[in-house]
Structure 1
C-alpha cells in the first residue's frame, strides 16, 4: 500500500469515527465530516504518490466544489479547518 493510500485510509477512518461520534449532538461536525468523506473518497479513487499529493488533491476538490456549492462562509471554514486538522494528524502518523 502506498503512502497516499495509507494516508487516505487514515483520514477516512478518522472522519467516519468523527461522523459517528458526533451523532445528533453536533450537526456541524457531522456535516463537515460527511462532506469531506465524499471528497476524500473521490480523490482516493484517483490515487497519488504521497501525503502531500493527497492534501493537494483534497484542497483542489474543495476549491472546485466551493466555487459552485452554496455553502456559507462559516461552513467552508469549518470544512477547511477539519481537513487541516485531519491532514496534520495523518502527517504525524496518528
Structure 2
C-alpha cells in the first residue's frame, strides 16, 4: 500500500482512472467509471478528515464497495474487476 501523502495518492489515482478513458476497452471503462464514482465520494470525505491517510481511504472505500456489492450493484465477475483495479491503484 502506498505510503505517500493522501492528497498525492488521490491525485495519482484520479489520473490513472482518467487514463482508462483514453486507452481502455469498453469493459475497462465501465469498471474504472464505477470505481471512480465511489472513489471520488470517499476521497472527498477522507480529505475532510484531519487524520485520514491512504490506509483510512482504503478501509473506507473497501467498506463502501462491499456495501454496494451486498446490494447486488454488480455481477460477481465485475466486483472482482473493481477490487483488482482498486488494489492496483494502491500498489502503484
TM-score (norm 1): 0.81
Q: Secondary structure at the match of 2:28?
A: helix
Superposed CA deviations along residues 6-52 of structure 1, whole A, max 9, x for unmatched, are: 21111111111123211xxx221111100111011001110242111
State the match for 1:51 in structure 2. 54
Counterpart of 2:10? 8
Q: Which residue does the alignment assign to 1:61?
A: 64
RMSD: 1.6
Structure 2: unaligned runs, 5 residues or longer: none
Give the superposition deviation at 1:58. Answer: 1.2
Q: Mind listing any 5+ residue stretches in structure 1 that lack a counterpart?
A: 90-94
User: Structure 2 vs 1, CA of residues 87 and 42 (structure 1 numbering), >3 Å: closer, same or farther?
Assistant: same
Distance (whole Å) between structure 2 residues aligned to residue 76 and residue 70 of structure 1: 9
